[in-house]
Amino acid sequence: MIRHLGAQRPRGHGRRRRDGRTYPCGGGGFLTLPPLTSPPARELVGLARPRVWRNLLLGTVGVMLIVAAAIGIVIATRRNGSPIPLTSALTATPGGIDLAEVLNGTFSANSFNGTWISDNEFLFRSENGALKMFTVETQSTEELVSQEIMAEWRPFKYSLSPSRKFLLVVHDVQKLFRYSYLARHTILNLETGESIPLAPQRVRSRNDQPPLLYATWAPTDDALAFVSHNDLYYTTGPDLATMYRLTDTGQIGSIFNGIPDWVYEEEILSSNSALWFGPNGLRLAFATFNDSRVDTMNFPLYGRPGDLSFQYPIQQSIKYPKPGRFNPVVDLWVVDLAKLISGSSDTVTRLPPPATLSNVDHYFTTVGWASPDFVSVNWMNRHQNVNILSICQAESGVCSDDLVHESPDKAWNDLYTPPMFDEANGDTYLIILPTFQGDRGHFKHINFRRSSDKTLTPLTTGTYEVVDILSWDRKNHIVYFTAAPSGRPGQRHIYYVGDLSSPQPKQAYCITCGFKNDFNEDCNYNSAEMSKDGTYYVLTCGGPGIPQVTLHRASDHSRLRLIEDNQEVRERLLDRSLPLEKRLEIDVAGGFKAQVSMKLPPDYNPTRFQSYPMLVYVYGGPGSQLVSDRFRIDWGDYLASERGIIYASIDGRGSGYSGDKLLHSLYYGLGTAEVDDQIAVTSALQKSFPFIDSSRTAIWGWSYGGYVTAAALSKDVNNVFKCGISVAPVTSWIYYDTVYTERYMGLPTPDDNLRAYDASDITRNVTNFRNKEFFLIHGTADDNVHYQQSMMLSRALEVNDILFRSQSYPDENHGLAGVKRHHYHSMEDFLNDCFNKA
């Protein structure tokens, strides 16, 4: 998937891009109870500081509505129809957002860093770094590992064994790709304090300990599976006394067992793992990827300046399939661990693909366990418009096609999350599928499937999209899920619906609609993490205000305690003048509406004539979203508050959470509707609002957004944009990977879609760059969007004698994390030149 760390992409592409419609707000929010005093709420504060989003919905509604009426622009409103507030509680004394603060994460909000380990307990790191366990029923906290021991190991990740006597810590990490890494794995005995290096062979000291590619506990005992040098191992206990090597075919960079190759990691599994324990731990499913026929992509590593060991660059190689070329060959297997331990030779069973796919290129996208004896596998054809969900007997490997789904819009399918099975029998499950909603087309909804009679019944319906299924309370026949409300794709709410055995089947209710945090700010962007059986959940009110994390009982949604209020972030923002954000909807071609956000400088006054330069930040990839109610402080807040630049984002055709008609607008035509909408909407804004200086309007984007930026400059014949910045862009889809590109574009062959590949190729359409200022930025060690992409565009511009600015970052990957200060200073310098020339 193409993205960078600063842009939001649904894969949860986080991956799966699912959302929802408005249901009655049954109960309309939560009972607000005061937090308990023991243990202190601060003890449950999360230490993780992820990149976050911000939305302070402001606007001068009266003036805007008059202008909007003339051009078809609709100002966003609250759920109850009241207008967006005109002022923000966070806007205070002068002093904007500093760039260093944005890059350092000064205003990043703490999230819930806990992990549910039962229906009543979760692990978390305290503020001092100790590992603790919180028990909901007793509201008590127990320290499992002291801050001193955690500081000694500095774990990148950790997981508690089922017996709770051992902790697996991941340390000394060397990052590989987006999800994968090499790291040492050590087992800590929580009773004795002993540390046991996890490795295929015994090691004498920590310094001799080899790195592993992945390791995980079995679900019901203290056995482990792990991957070393691309081979899969199993050990029956933390003492490592009994060790089994399950595969011996692994080859670094070519054959992968239990871990994905590059393209499966990036585009399908979104994980560094390709193994799945059965629910009772007696069987283990895993995938093997053979990349022997996949073409190799080479790029140099230049190394440290002045270092003799880098007199010659080091060649790096990745097996990277590009459109129309060979894909990895994948096989799925199940190991019967009980037979393995007993000494049986018949322990491994292959799970074959469906007969209709066995002789053609195909993928698997999900693996799950329907029961201890049955495995579910979702398969796709290479074009990714046909899904076949197979149910396989784990012992025999006999599989049946339980559900065949073809894209109803004749576009692509989007099934990357395994079904949620009824653990009692494995015959029924929940799955998210496109569901027809009349003339509005298809929207993602929860469907109930019974395998025995092949029935498929929608549990949710309406013009909204389900994002994900949180939990299925079989006892009370309730399904909890996250959805984006109808007409408000930038919001996320938590809902529940009765399953088919419920007294009120298929009746859905919104839990968080109308809910506010402790500062009386709307909670429009919510997420929840349910306990193992769904008795409790941790709710994150993620925006538009500063995030707040609370613990709730699911039966009545009552609040049990405050976990995190991010008071420090709130205090840091009190003395800042923040941008004012205007939200709009603008009509675009096809009868659709684009969602628009504009962050205006704090001194904006609608009664005073003053024009500002504007920078449009674009992503634009299928299913993406930039305009949302999620809290964030980013580069745009700095530019608006300190540099007086309007910072705009536009979600047009192809964006997510508004149904498949809008989403599938880009099918077999990347570089068309999503680019046209950036130009058309920006032009409409310029014509409608005199405070936008049309002579000083720029566009920028990263990754897919870099592609849309370059495409917009190449198609913008009316000079809507004076300049643009493309960071790590795709410039021709023939150079990107098979899975992502062919999902939307098919194959680059004359009998399929070569014409669209050619039409979308920026290197073939550079004439219009002659009238623009263009800045091209790329890291030379980008494993995702290769440096080759920018070099091809550079070559096309140079042979046409078109001047442009270019910045190459040696040995930097797609995220440019090692040079972020230089990167952002360079972009600001370019904008200064562009706007001053205008």
**How many other CB atoms are found less than 10 A from the CB of residue 300?**
15
Give me the residues paired with residue 431 across strands: 447
The CA distance from 333 to 810, in Å, is: 41
Give me the residues paired with residue 181 across strands: 175
User: Is 703 among the residues known to form the active site?
Assistant: yes
DSSP state of 327: P
The order of strands in the sheet holding 428-436 is 420-421, 428-436, 442-450, 455-458
The CA distance from 59 to 56, in Å, is: 10
Taking only Cα atoms into account, the Rg of the chain, rounded to an integer number of angstroms, comes to 27
Residues 738, 325 contacting (CB under 8 angstroms): yes
Residues 670, 704 contacting (CB under 8 angstroms): no
Residues 670, 760 contacting (CB under 8 angstroms): yes
The order of strands in the sheet holding 548-553 is 526-530, 536-541, 548-553, 559-564
* Long-range contacts of the stretch 315-320 (C-beta < 8 A, 24+): 316/781, 317/253, 318/253, 318/262, 318/783, 319/253, 319/254, 319/261, 319/262, 319/291, 319/294, 319/295, 320/262, 320/263, 320/294, 320/295, 320/296, 320/737, 320/783, 320/786
What 3 state SS string does 726-739 have? EECCCCCHHHCCHH
CA distances from 756 to 322, 669, 747, 751 (A): 16, 6, 10, 12
Residues 32, 517 contacting (CB under 8 angstroms): no
| Sequence-ordered alpha helix ranges (H) in 558-703 | 567-573, 635-643, 660-663, 673-688
Select which of 451, 703, 714, 732 is catalytic.
703
Select which of 4, 171, 493, 814 is catalytic.
814
Tokens of 35: 């937090």
Question: Which residues fall within 8 angstroms of residue 243, CB to CB, at 6 or more apart?
Answer: 200, 233, 234, 235
The CA distance from 353 to 342, in Å, is: 29
The CA distance from 450 to 57, in Å, is: 44
Identity at 43, one-letter amino acid code: E
Query: Which parts of 621-772 are beta strand (E)?
Result: 646-651, 692-702, 723-727
Question: Tokens 């941790």 belong to which residue?
Answer: 538
Count of positions (residues) in the chain:
838
| Count of alpha carbons within 13 angstroms of residue 791, beta-carbon side | 10
Query: Which parts of 78-230 are beta strand (E)?
Result: 115-116, 121-125, 131-135, 140-145, 157-160, 166-175, 181-189, 195-197, 214-217, 224-228
User: Is 782 among the residues known to form the active site?
Assistant: yes
Nearest to 619 by CA among 708, 716, 699, 697: 708
Question: Which residues fall within 8 angstroms of residue 74, CB to CB, at 6 or more apart?
Answer: 68, 584, 585, 593
Burial class (CB in 10 A: 0-12, 13-18, 19+), 243: middle
Residues 432, 469 contacting (CB under 8 angstroms): yes
Select which of 782, 783, 790, 823 is catalytic.
782
Q: Which residues are catalytic?
A: 703, 782, 814
